Amino acid sequence: MDRRQIWLSLATLAMFAAVPPLTVIFDQPFYMDMIARIMVFAIAAVSLDLILGHGGMVSFGHAVYMGVGAYAVGILSYYGLDNGFLQIPVALGASALIGLVFGAMSLRTTGVYFIMITLAFAQMLYFLAISLEEFGGDDGMSSMRSEFGGVIDMYDAMQFYYVIFVVLALVLFGLHRLVLSRFGMVIRAARSNDRRMQAVGFPTYRYKLAAFTLASTICGLAGVLFANLNEFVSPDVMHWTHSGELMVMVIMGGMGTLIGPVLGATAFLLLEEYLPQWMEMAMTNAGEHWAIIMGPILIAIVLFGRGGIHALFAATIWRSGGKRNG
């Protein structure tokens, strides 16, 4: 990560950190909830970027681990176990275990077969969640927020917001260090030429499986925060369309950059929130067709804006820095 990426990451985190005071000043609590949701999905998108952007593993069922983390919180809450110190290890353990099993089988395939098998595994868990009538089935289930013994009050909007913020910052820092380590170098090299890496003695399958499991675990952590944010869990979060949305966030923001998926999640969810309203203002009953505009935006980014939003901002920083230095 060069200086431009570091400054862009710090600027993005600084803007997120400034949201709660601004919402208090302008008496707009809705925006704090919206940005909190953006950060939760940003954590999930960053975890996908680890295997997609750095490892070249196109997982089309990544949202299932977000669902696993959310259901771990919801099911424990259903039985009266609201202790966050219990819920988080269970959620992370379940996400890691399922990611390990799914990854161990999926990584024996490549290309389109890998994409389809990750999709198939995700849909299996999706339909399993629908069949769990005791936990609401297709309708989902209510969930209480996690309790941390008075250390953190998750029902306090500002405290909860900064919990999500700190988790996002720690995930970005941890993955930044990981990507720059020998482990990250092997993952990136295996993406470029897996056979050559095996020929020089690296067990690339193990490295990929470790990355896949770690990405699943981090996405499960996003699921824990998602369940607390909504106080509700449903199978919908596991559906393949949400996996597609996470992939769109990564592509929009910039694959292989870590901060790019954060920018992509921000742009995608803001467009999802406001684009229907703008279309409704322009034309009656047009808001529900907001994807008609979203599609060309994504196509334009893929065709003409290689590197996504991250590359656009990084180029702007580069130009402004060049002018000052000149």
pLDDT tier for residue 286 given thresholds of 50, 70 and 90: low
For residue 306, is pLDDT > 80? Answer: no
User: At residue 250, what is the residue type?
Assistant: V
196-213 average pLDDT score: 94
Average pLDDT over residues 244-253: 92
Q: Specify burial of residue 185 (Cβ count, 10 A radius: 0-12, 13-18, 19+).
A: middle
Residue 144 has pLDDT above 60, yes or no: yes
Phi, psi angle pair for 50, to nearest 5°: -60, -45
Q: Residues 105, 117: contact at Cβ < 8 Å?
A: yes
For residue 251, which of 293, 290, 212, 309 has the smallest C-alpha distance? 309
Query: Burial letters for 195-221: b for 16+ Cβ neighbours within 10 Å, e otherwise?
Result: eebeeeebebeebbbebbbbbbbbbbb
Q: For a pLDDT cut of 70, what percent of the chain falls above it?
A: 92
pLDDT band with cut points at 50, 70 and 90 for residue 149 = confident
Residue-wise pLDDT for 40-88, tens only, equals: 999 999 999 999 999 999 999 999 999 999 999 999 999 999 999 999 9
Give, in words, the CATH class of 3-325. Answer: mainly alpha
Candidates 298, 263, 258, 195; CA nearest to 52 is 258
Going by C-alpha positions, the residue among 131, 113, 1 that lies closest to residue 53 is: 1
Per-residue confidence (pLDDT) for residue 38, from 0 to 100: 96
Element (H, E) at 142: strand 141-142
- Which whole-number Å values give the CA distances from 15 to 26, 120, 154, 162, in the listed order? 16, 38, 22, 13
Which of the residue ranges 195-209, 252-266, 305-319 would you say has the lowest mean pLDDT? 305-319
> Residue 109: what are its φ and ψ, rounded to 5°?
-120, 170
Asked whether the predicted pLDDT for residue 3 surpasses 80, the reply is: no
What is the pLDDT averaged over residues 2-18?
85
pLDDT value for 318: 58
95 pLDDT above the threshold of 50: yes
Average pLDDT over the chain, rounded to an integer: 89
- CB-count burial class (<10 Å; 0-12, 13-18, 19+) for 4: middle
Q: Give CA–CA dist 253/261, Å, rounded.
A: 5
Which pLDDT score is estimated for 315?
67
Cα separation, 213 vs 217, in Å, equals: 6
- Least confident stretch, 84-98, 200-214, 241-255, 267-281: 267-281
pTM score, two decimals? 0.93
Separation between Cα atoms, residue 14 and residue 54, nearest integer Å: 25
Handedness of CA 312, 314, 318, 324 (dihedral sign): positive
Determine the pLDDT at residue 313.
75
CA distance 252 to 45: 11
pLDDT exceeds cutoff 70 at 35 = yes
* pLDDT for res 298: 80
Residues 6+ apart with CB under 8 A from 108: none
Largest interatomic CA distance in the chain = 67
Mean pLDDT along residues 95-110: 95
How far, CA to CA in Å, does 48 sit from each of 131, 185, 270? 27, 17, 20
Higher pLDDT, 261 or 282: 261
Burial class (CB in 10 A: 0-12, 13-18, 19+), 178: middle
> Which pLDDT band holds residue 322 (cuts at 50, 70, 90)?
very low
How does pLDDT run across 124-135, given as a tens digit for each residue? 999 999 999 999
d(CA 227, CA 53): 27
pLDDT of residue 326: 45
pLDDT at 301: 77
User: Average pLDDT in the 280-291 region?
Assistant: 68
Q: What is the mean pLDDT of residues 81-101?
A: 96
pLDDT of amino acid 17: 94
Tokens of 307: 């590197």
Round to whole Å and give the CA distance between 292 and 33: 27
The residue ranges of every structural domain in the chain are 3-325
For residue 258, the 8-state DSSP code is: S
